Structure 1
């Protein structure tokens, strides 16, 4: 449609435009016959040397969409709704999935797996204390200690939970700001950016698409940086930045196996599910193993984007001062999101607080059976387990959401945010900005509804006095129209666009 070349975009999402589809069967067969190493990163030369890391799709493999009459299994286009074991206990949680189980019975997203070992230990401890108290020697103490320690533990857990959620909410605000800045930047580039005189329109379109790909690449690179994944050959990012000269690209070329995932043994996998600290890997391991400087990939992408905006301003594509200010403000907003997320990631709660709160909580729970056994007797065992579940649950939730950018089930779904940014920019790029009259004066529009259902063509045949009179009467008509809608809602009648189409209201 028009000058929209969204099919050339490197975005991951699709939009409702006329795009060619790829013969995936043939492409898959070619991939099986001649596999390519995604880490072989080569710079493009002036002779347009073929990039080994990019997605090469021959034009012969591009064809029109198949007819609906062709037998296609609709189930192929359905989104998977089931979860395997690994996805069930690792995240982030897919917020688009819906569970019909009551919240109190749901396990996906629950902190329960990480509480199994502490609860088993507490059960054994409370059982031992109760048996010794009843069979050997009295171990109960005055319950006044329960009140004093309970107040301290409650205050500590409240502080831990509030600070953790504040960091979680702050991380979400930064990604919301990044989404807004990306949409605005894409609109400035695609809509406000003018065509360059004496330049091939295809070149202008491809440059704009390349600039919008940089916006998407920034969000994807920021996601990987926040998860301590500093390289450039990740599947969702390589096609966006493989042609850029970055430190991450050089580091990836020096270590082709840097992004390969080692298979976890049984102890490590089960230990991570259960929250065993001895089984958890150092998330910064990739940063420590590298022999090359990694740079700051999101910042480098932002530099490329800034150069692109400078070129658009210098070439006259952004000749309105307000548009220039808007573009540079979005660069600043994206940089602010990057530094803000980095601050949330690298400024956790001071370790002294973390250790003290954890110690206070465990001491309170382990002392609990001594204070309950005198009055509850054998009920001390289940009572201690229930109390431990509540107290440890609040403690572990705070520990899990303190870093909202990780891979836990309750962390922020950064993949969804990146896909949304890519989809939004594809939608912007699918819009043909050349002919605004096609929608401003469309014969299907009703500019003065509900005063009149006439189209712009009908109004062009009337005098300007009638047009001004209709505009003047619109507030009163809108007031009556809303009253009519409210009356029909109360009476239970079905609403429709014909509710007020009883002529042109004497206009």
Structure 2
């Protein structure tokens, strides 16, 4: 996610990094060169056989703008839903730490061994949520660096996770088993078990929502159609403008091509919100924030620093 808080118009207008221009400049340049060649043919060599009227381009341009708006709205809906789901993940993780700390209690009159065991169960469940969040981030991004979870999971569980098709779900399932074991030992009141299970269920629901976005992209046929229409429109546009605006054609085509190719590229950029593109969600930052918040609940004082933007981009 780009963390550019610059509000001055001229600075924003001149910004290149993180904009669609980094992805579309080749197409814009090629279209502008074509427009320049078309203008030379018309003005210098008097070749007028390939010209078209501007009327169809006016009508088609309006239709393309509407379709691009619909597509970008669909892509942004996916992006915003993903951000809301991760906002819920932040909240439910904090809630989980509070519930574990207050609802898992040693029976009155317990000896030191039981008190120590209960304290260990609390810490384990909280740190397991840290492992879950980092594992969920790796799961969404398709990364296979699960050894970094060794700070919160033992070697036996890490080995077992290698054979799991859905590793975050396996981590959450094991946390549920620990809650169940604590209940059987009398460390969790029967009325509090549904509360803890409710948090785990919400975590699973958030995961399912993110996986739905990940596994259901904008229909391929729709993307292909929009790319083709925009490309053909920009290619033929010089032939429709040159007879009316003459030497201004290259500049007009460059501007229109930048706008249309840019709008088309925005949809591609944000429709997959879990990647590492500059405008994707900062999953590493959110995971680190959850980690710091939860480790503080365990009394840990050797906390990692919050993730900071690099070159204005927050990963």
Per the normalisation by structure 1, the TM-score is 0.55
Structure 2 unmatched runs, 5+:
301-315
Cα deviation code 1:58-81 (max 9, x no counterpart):
xxxxxxxxxxxxxxxxxxxxxxxx
Q: 1:308 to 1:215 in 2, by over 3 A?
A: same
Instruction: Determine the C-alpha separation between the residues in 2 that align with 1:144 and 1:328.
Output: 63
What is the aligned partner in structure 2 of residue 198 from structure 1? 111
Instruction: Determine the C-alpha separation between the residues in 1 that align with 2:82 and 2:43.
Output: 52
Matched-pair contact (CA < 8 Å) for 1:248–1:295: no
Higher RCO (C-alpha 8 Å, min separation 6): 2
Instruction: Determine the C-alpha separation between the residues in 1 that align with 2:55 and 2:5.
Output: 46
Structure 1 unmatched runs, 5+:
1-91, 251-292, 432-507
- Aligned to 1:403, what secondary structure does the other structure show? coil
What is the aligned partner in structure 2 of residue 490 from structure 1? none
* Aligned-residue offset at 1:249: 4.9
Aligned pair partner of 2:178 in 305, 308, 315 = 308
Aligned pair partner of 2:209 in 340, 346, 350 = 340
Answering whether residue 272 of structure 2 is matched by residue 403 of structure 1, we say yes
Answering whether residue 250 of structure 2 is matched by residue 370 of structure 1, we say no
* Aligned-residue offset at 1:242: 4.3
- Aligned to 2:250, what secondary structure does the other structure show? helix
What is the aligned partner in structure 1 of residue 130 from structure 2? 216
Aligned pair partner of 2:169 in 299, 302, 316 = 299
- Aligned to 2:143, what secondary structure does the other structure show? coil
Structure with greater Cα Rg: 1
Matched-pair contact (CA < 8 Å) for 2:172–2:200: yes
* Aligned-residue offset at 1:240: 2.2
What is the aligned partner in structure 2 of residue 83 from structure 1? none
Aligned pair partner of 1:166 in 63, 77, 81 = 77
Matched-pair contact (CA < 8 Å) for 1:247–1:295: no
Per the normalisation by structure 2, the TM-score is 0.86
Q: 1:295 to 1:248 in 2, by over 3 A?
A: farther
What is the aligned partner in structure 1 of residue 150 from structure 2? 238
What is the aligned partner in structure 2 of residue 414 from structure 1? 283
* Aligned-residue offset at 1:209: 1.2
Answering whether residue 136 of structure 2 is matched by residue 225 of structure 1, we say no
What is the aligned partner in structure 2 of residue 271 from structure 1? none
In angstroms, what is the RMSD of aligned CA positions? Answer: 2.1
Instruction: Determine the C-alpha separation between the residues in 2 that align with 1:394 and 1:239.
Output: 43
1:32-111 map, 5 Å:
92-93=1-2, 95=3, 99=6, 102-111=11-20
Instruction: Determine the C-alpha separation between the residues in 2 that align with 1:425 and 1:415.
Output: 15
Instruction: Determine the C-alpha separation between the residues in 1 that align with 2:176 and 2:126.
Output: 12
Cα deviation code 1:317-352 (max 9, x no counterpart):
22151x322211111111111111111011011111
Answering whether residue 52 of structure 2 is matched by residue 141 of structure 1, we say yes
What is the aligned partner in structure 2 of residue 388 from structure 1? 257
What is the aligned partner in structure 1 of residue 308 from structure 2? none
